[in-house]
Amino acid sequence: VQLQASGGGLVQAGGSLRLSCAASGRTFSGYVRGWFRQAAGKEREFVATIGASGSTAYYPDYAPSVQGRFTISRDSAKSAVYLQMNSLKPEDTAVYYCAAANSRLLRLRAHDYGYWGQGTQVTVSS
């Protein structure tokens, strides 16, 4: 069972990136999916989460720092989840991790997620 994050890179402030997280080994169709990030010297922090399609907890939730700029979405047929990041700021610079949680409710804490991808670096220059 593996989650593979991709799509990171170097972008100027105000630019956009789209992160992808592909799953292998299982579908994660009924799982909550999330994105977290960890900047150098800081703890891992919640970015966004989305519930399983058709569930009462489907509607996504975001950290206040990314609300209105980032959009999380999922393609259940592909067991993939995406993070569209617009209006990027230098403070968004971090390693971004995708995760999955066996839960019917949205989860905002890292320790609630049992599956993690390897991370993809996002660097926003000023």
Comparing 28-32, 64-68, 88-92, 111-115, which segment has the lowest mean pLDDT? 28-32
Predicted pLDDT of residue 77: 82
Q: Do 24 and 4 form a contact (C-beta atoms < 8 A)?
A: yes
Of the pLDDT bands very low, low, confident and very high (cuts 50, 70, 90), residue 9 is very high
Predicted pLDDT of residue 78: 81
Predicted pLDDT of residue 44: 97
Q: How far apart are CA 82 and CA 73, in angstroms?
A: 5
- Kindly tell me if the per-residue pLDDT of 57 is higher than 70: no
Q: Do 48 and 69 form a contact (C-beta atoms < 8 A)?
A: no
Of residues 82 and 54, the one with the higher pLDDT is 82
β-pair type (120-125, 9-12): parallel
Of the pLDDT bands very low, low, confident and very high (cuts 50, 70, 90), residue 52 is confident
Nearest CA among 113, 122, 95 for reference residue 1: 113
Comparing 26-30, 42-46, 119-123, which segment has the lowest mean pLDDT? 26-30
Cα distances (angstroms) measured from residue 60 to each of 11, 72, 87, 105: 25, 7, 19, 11
